[in-house]
Amino acid sequence: MSFYHIILMLSFLVVSPEKKETKTEKQKNKLDFLTVEIVFKHKTYSNFVFDTGAEGSILAEEIAEEINLSRRLIFLKDSFPPPPLVYKSIKIPFLGRVNIGYRGRTKIFLNKQNCTGKNKFFWSKRNMLFRDSNISGILGWNFIKKYNWIIDAKHNNIKKYDSLNTEISDDYIILSADIKEKEGLPSIDLLINRAFNFNVIFDTGAKHFISIGNNIFKKKEQESNASTFYGVNEEKYVLLDSININGLLFRNTPVGIYSHMPSFRGLAGLDFMRLFDKVIIDNRNNKILFCKKK
């Protein structure tokens, strides 16, 4: 993750990934992912997924019709967004290799904060994604990268910010990672066990701790039901007694293994972000800050 400004105290900091939620706990959080409330033209909609791992922003066709969103006819090839990796795609049925869809722009309020300018959304008559869930839409990286954000992944609290100086203090230990946009998605560098370098997707739409492309640890693989917003993945994982990520030591760590992922790529999901008190997306300076109280 190309972390720098690592404070010396971190070499003594040992944290453990949080335990998996029980069914009862999951019922309290319907989606188990980061969601926000959106206001379109004085109409309020909950359960928009805040997903840095999706290229574009998508909303349900019913909402586009209800708010009378102006639309422009477009062609969506194969699926949308174009999947940079096999596991990260929104399956939209299509005729041949072309699916007819729409694009519109509108002003919104997000968690009661005004997002100035007109924001781009896509939708499709043939998209089955929203019919089988209580999702209203997805806020993808095309929208998220326009603003600066403070994320409390533990409590599903997301807000914009204007001044970074008012959001962090000396009470926090801070790790900083450079954002390297690749294939339309935010990526950061990881150094695992001080030996293995990976470029991972910073993915708020995945629940994983860390997932990588192959079993570099030569440990016995176990079956997993790890999920993203788009459904359960056919993934395996290895359980490590400890793992050192750029100076941070984690105990009892599950690391996902994707057979279809390039060996040099991976993703960091919500289970990783929930170890911190704040995760700040500073698009003004192309950085992500992981903040933990001392």
- Which DSSP string corresponds to 160-221? E-S-GGGT--TTEEEEEEE-EEETTEEEEEEEETTTEEEEEEE-TTB--SEEESS-TT-PPP
Per-residue pLDDT, 122? 87
Q: Does the reported pTM lie above 0.95?
A: no
At 20-31, the pLDDT tens digits run 444 333 333 445
At 224-258, the pLDDT tens digits run 766 555 555 557 888 889 888 887 888 888 888 87
Cβ atoms of residues 274 and 34 within 8 Å = no
**pLDDT level of residue 86 (50, 70, 90 thresholds):** very low
- Residue 187 Cα distances to 37, 59, 62, 179, 215, angstroms: 26, 24, 33, 6, 21
Question: Domains in the chain and their CATH numbers?
Answer: 8-26+166-293 (2.40.70.10), 30-158 (2.40.70.10)
Q: Can you point out the beta strands (E) in 66-136? A: 72-77, 98-110, 113-124
At 89-142, the pLDDT tens digits run 344 343 344 556 788 999 999 999 999 888 999 887 766 667 767 888 999 999
Per-residue pLDDT, 99? 59
